[in-house]
Structure 1
Amino acid sequence: MDSKRCSESRTIFSNHVLPPDTNNHGTLFGGKLMSYIDDVAARSAMKHSRRTCVTASMDSIDFLQPIRANDEVVLEGFVTWTHRTSMEVFVKVIREDLLTTERMLCATAFLTFVALDETGAPTPVPGVVPESPEEIGLNASAAGRMEARTARRRESKRVAERFGVGFPWEK
């Protein structure tokens, strides 16, 4: 299976933020932005693997600046690193003031997707070839993020086993 350049998975999405998209502070709902991020990342993973993909984890979303009503929000995602059946996708979120043209980086996110075959089982994905300084830097630091992700997942499983599916009021 041939490796693919990061740029082959690049996905761009933009949207005009309108009042119904905002919270009581007049800024874009965090959950709406998370949905946009997941959608862009999923499409990047599918472009890279040319397979159906599922979200395995949303490692982090760092909200750096608010996005206000009447801004344009632009998301850019691409695959930064691959393992056997999984792909790490980086998404950056930029807001543009449509009246002044001022742009600002507002959020960054790392997500992991798993490619599935026709039966729904995980299937191998191509390797990734970073080219730009941004891609090379993200690719070089991906192994550390994978270690942290693996440790966090182990801890999540321990917590899940401890708490189970019952609710406190059901005792």
Structure 2
Amino acid sequence: MVFPGDTNHHGTLFGGEALSFMDSAAFIAATRYCRRKVVTRHLDAMEFSRPIPQGSLVELVARVIKTGRSSMTVLVELFIEQMYSDQRELGCTGTFVLVAIGDDGQPTPVPNLNGDGPRLEG
């Protein structure tokens, strides 16, 4: 839910709050994918399609779309729903790159996206 404290002077979701919500969703998706500690490395692209008004419900959908040796690219979509309507539309999208880290704090391999075990090449 977009509460007044999450909004800017236009009464819409502040961009930094949307980024925070989306980074959290990317973190959860990447952690569930590799079951390791992860950190955000890079925000590749962010597109705000429409304003997200105060009082709206938001749904975040995040999925791993690409893997590297220790990195995962996560696409996050933020959907807007009106509180008392079944109307739903895409509010913004972002692509985040997260890296799995081992107990030593260094990057550690993640499984291939196709499920064949750890990816050892670049």
TM-score (norm 1): 0.65
Alignment correspondent of 1:92: 77
How do residues 1-171 of structure 1 correspond to structure 2 at under 5 angstroms? 16-129=1-114
Residue ranges of structure 1 left out of the alignment (5+ in a row): 1-15, 131-171
- What letter corresponds to residue 108 of structure 1 in structure 2? T
Tell me which protein shows more strand as a share of its residues.
2
Higher radius of gyration, 1 or 2: 1
Residue ranges of structure 2 left out of the alignment (5+ in a row): 116-122
Alignment correspondent of 2:118: none
Q: Secondary structure at the match of 1:128?
A: coil
The structural deviation recorded for 1:100 is 2.2
TM-score (norm 2): 0.91
Tell me which protein shows more helix as a share of its residues.
1
Whole-Å Cα distance in 2 between the matches of residues 129 and 69 of structure 1?
Answer: 40
Whole-Å Cα distance in 1 between the matches of residues 114 and 18 of structure 2?
Answer: 28
Whole-Å Cα distance in 1 between the matches of residues 68 and 61 of structure 2?
Answer: 22
Whole-Å Cα distance in 1 between the matches of residues 18 and 38 of structure 2?
Answer: 20
Give the root-mean-square deviation of aligned CA atoms: 1.2
The structural deviation recorded for 1:27 is 0.2
Please list every run of at least 4 consecutive aligned residues from structure 1 whose deviation after the TM superposition is greater than 6 angstroms.
none
Q: Deviations over 1:75-117 (max 9, x none)?
A: 1101111011100000001000012221110101101011001
- What letter corresponds to residue 62 of structure 1 in structure 2? E
Alignment correspondent of 2:120: none
Count of aligned pairs between the two proteins? 115
Q: Deviations over 1:32-91 (max 9, x none)?
A: 010011111011111111110011100011000111011001111011110111000000
